[in-house]
């Protein structure tokens, strides 16, 4: 308990919660020692694989190495639009913002990446979520371009968090 609380004030607070307790019981409970925790061995740290260097997906070291690609669905009155955005991981620059009337397919997303790569240069990695647009056909198109497609883990928005934050800012701007 806090130093300014005495056993009488603690007993009074517990009594207000309709639990009958005396001052001596509070003293006895406070004097009791916690049972020792069973010893748990420390987990061994995972060793890095030999010959594999980290690719710094979360903190890129230079411009145009990692791109984040994601989709945002907007409804305006009774119309539904899908917004596709590509963001540079290092500079957080919005490289492309494209609005689709219908939900884009894998070939639309691959064409978008190709078009942006012609303008800004080819990235090393493209980070996406697990949308249906980013499956087999999109991944094979990226491999033909010599770009490594990376899918973020399910329920782990931190890997693609930069584009998610950009979409949050976009939604705030849109509502003003």
Whole-number Å distance between alpha carbons of 121 and 118 = 6
Instruction: Give the helix/strand (H/E) hosting 97.
Output: strand 94-100
**Is pLDDT above 60 for 156?**
yes
Q: What is the overall mean pLDDT for the chain? A: 83
**Is pLDDT above 70 for 52?**
no
15 vs 124 pLDDT, higher one: 124
Crossing angle of helices 23-31 and 7-16, in 10° steps, is 110
Whole-number Å distance between alpha carbons of 10 and 1 = 8
Query: Taken in order 16, 22, 24, 28, is the CA torsion positive or negative?
Result: negative
pTM of the predicted model, to two decimals? 0.66
125 vs 155 pLDDT, higher one: 125
């Amino acid at each position: 308990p806090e130093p300014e609380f005495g056993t009488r004030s603690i007993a009074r607070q517990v009594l207000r919660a309709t639990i009958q307790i005396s001052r001596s019981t509070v003293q006895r409970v406070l004097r009791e020692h916690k049972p020792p925790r069973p010893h748990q061995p420390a987990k061994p740290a995972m060793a890095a694989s030999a010959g594999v260097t980290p690719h710094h997906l979360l903190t890129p070291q230079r411009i145009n190495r990692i791109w984040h690609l994601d989709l945002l669905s907007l409804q305006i009155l009774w119309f539904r639009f899908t917004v596709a955005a590509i963001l540079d991981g290092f500079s957080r620059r919005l490289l492309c913002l494209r609005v689709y009337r219908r939900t884009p397919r894998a070939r639309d997303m691959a064409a978008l990446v190709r078009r942006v790569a012609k303008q800004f240069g080819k990235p090393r990695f493209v980070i996406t979520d697990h949308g249906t647009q980013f499956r087999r056909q999109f991944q094979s198109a990226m491999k033909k371009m010599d770009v490594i497609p990376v899918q973020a883990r399910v329920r782990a928005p931190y890997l693609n968090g930069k584009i998610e934050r950009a979409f949050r800012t976009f939604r705030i701007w849109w509502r003003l």
